[in-house]
Chain A
Amino acid sequence: MTNAGPFRTIVAFLEFVGGLTQLLARTLALAPAALLSKRGRRLGWHNLWQQMDRVGVKSVPIVLLVLFCIGAILSFQMAPILREYGKLDSVADVISVAIFRELGPLISAIVLTGFAGASIAAEVGTMVVSEEIEALEAHAINPVRFLVVPRVLATTVMTVCIAILGDVAGVAGGLTVSAGFLGLSPVQYWTHTFSVLQLRDFVTGLVKAGVFGLLISGLACHLGLRVTGGAQGVGTATTRTVVYTIVALIFVDLLFTGVFYYLGF
């Protein structure tokens, strides 16, 4: 029975992905009703704003700081190589493409995995343990519509918004180092930032950000809803959410980047 181990792992993995997909599908199917139906509207929007504040607003300072540093780091790292090729002024081009296409969305998503992902998983998991989910069902309130929909929508929207803010912070970080330490003029840096950047760089980054947001909140809700075993189960679910999400983010990023490459985006 030596094959049983890896085989069972694969089956468990497929079951997990299947369950997650099912949850996301139900969430997207229920989203219009949650926000647009006459009765749903009353609470649907209130819940949504609450979640957007909790997920997005509080994470902005950290994302700005982190992306600023990354832009600065990129600047320092690229400078010697580009100087060798006599193309030091191209540092702005490189940074802008790297940030807008890749690091802005990805790093924002990783920061949000902590703010949104871990927090949502812990919250939902605690609700399972304290019978609140059962109470919702006993009141004929669909827990997916009431809890998951606002969290998923809020996280998806906020990941995109925060990616935009992160992009700006990254460019600012690169600008600061280039102008302050590498001897480039700010004006030069600014023009170069937009000379190579195209709309599709910006858009592909935001599409990725949206998908990342779905992943973060989908995984958090899925793992939270499946908690068993009291406080320890909540802790396990929270840790798993962070780990699974980061791995999933990088993997999906690779997938999208490859696809965009082949499609010429």
Chain B
Amino acid sequence: MPDTAIQVQEVTKRYGDRTVLDKIKLDVFQGETLVILGGSGSGKSTLLRLMTGNVKPDGGEITSLGKALSKMTDGELAAYRKTIGVLFQSGALFNSMSVADNVALPLREHTDLAEETIDIMVKIKLELVGLREHADKMPAELSGGMKKRAGLARAIALDPQILFYDEPSAGLDPVTSAEIDQLIIDLNKKLGVTSVVVTHEMDSAFRIADRMVLLDRGKFIVSGTADEMKHSKDPLVRQFVHGLTEGPLTARRRGGAYVDDLLGGD
């Protein structure tokens, strides 16, 4: 039985009177790459933010690396954040600093290492993501794929135990997207990290996932290996996984209000 890196126990999150996540229960195992799937509004990004400690749940608890997140003090939360890395959708590089300075920032802020040592570590991280020649470029000079690589180099600056990816393929062409996917797989193997990837791109998901979880409208639907998901008989899972135009997801959207609307129903 593999160790659990993150346990999500009956987690609920509301924004106003909208329930974004409803009693979600799932485990992330040590060293695996777990892909969280779902359409827009499924709550997957919110779930990610709950796991990184950015947002607190309204109900339930998330235990990560052995500690309950909502019970952490500010100091403990800061310490937790130094053991995880997050790749944001746009890379979220600091635009006023070069790529090298971006990657060096966590090292300069949180360690007492000398500048020469930090220089070397920055080069190592940039080499891991394939950006070593672009160390002195400013974020505005980078392409979308390069921005993500730079953001990833920064995320692994402190050698985290868990890496979170928020829609890593967003805005990328298929080839670059495949390259980033390969990077995710390589890092997972080379660094031995646990990876949690939020995405709705099925091609990427099948490439990188050890296991997948499907969310829909804030509810946990199913989890399983890539194979299990591909061969599922559940109509909702089948529609999402295979990108079908007919199924439960589209049926509820149509709902029958169209005819009433046209005929001016009172």
> A-side interface residues toward B, CB under 8 Å?
38-39, 42-43, 126-127, 130-132, 134-141
Contacts and interface: CB of A to CB of B under 8 A. Distances in A.
B88 A135 contact: yes
A131 B89 contact: yes
Given A38-B112, A140-B110, A131 B78 contact: no
Interface string B71-103: 000000111011010101110111100000000
Contacts of A38: 112
A50 to B, nearest CB: 8
Interface residues of B, number: 25
B82 A135 contact: no
6 contacts: A130-B95, A131-B90, A131-B92, A132-B94, A134-B92, A135-B88
Contact of A139 (B77, B90, B106): B106
Contact of A134 (B54, B79, B105): B54
Contact of B88 (A42, A126, A131, A140): A131
- Please classify the interface of chain A as helix (H, G, I), strand (E, B), loop, or mixed, using the class held by over half of its residues: helix
Which of A130, A139, A141 gathers the greatest number of chain B CB atoms within 10 Å?
A139
Given A39-B110, A132-B94, A135-B94, 5 more contacts: A131-B88, A137-B81, A139-B81, A140-B79, A140-B82
Contact of A130 (B79, B86, B90, B106): B90
Given A39-B110, A131-B90, A140 B95 contact: no
Interface of B: 52, 54, 77-79, 81-82, 84, 86, 88-90, 92-95, 105-106, 108-112, 151, 154
Contact of A138 (B54, B94, B108): B54
B238 to A, nearest CB: 34
Given A134-B54, A134-B92, A135-B92, A141 B86 contact: no
Contacts of A131: 88-90, 92
Contact of A39 (B52, B112, B154): B112
Contacts of A42: 108
Given A130-B95, A132-B92, A138 B112 contact: no
A53 B195 CA distance: 42
Contacts of B52: 138
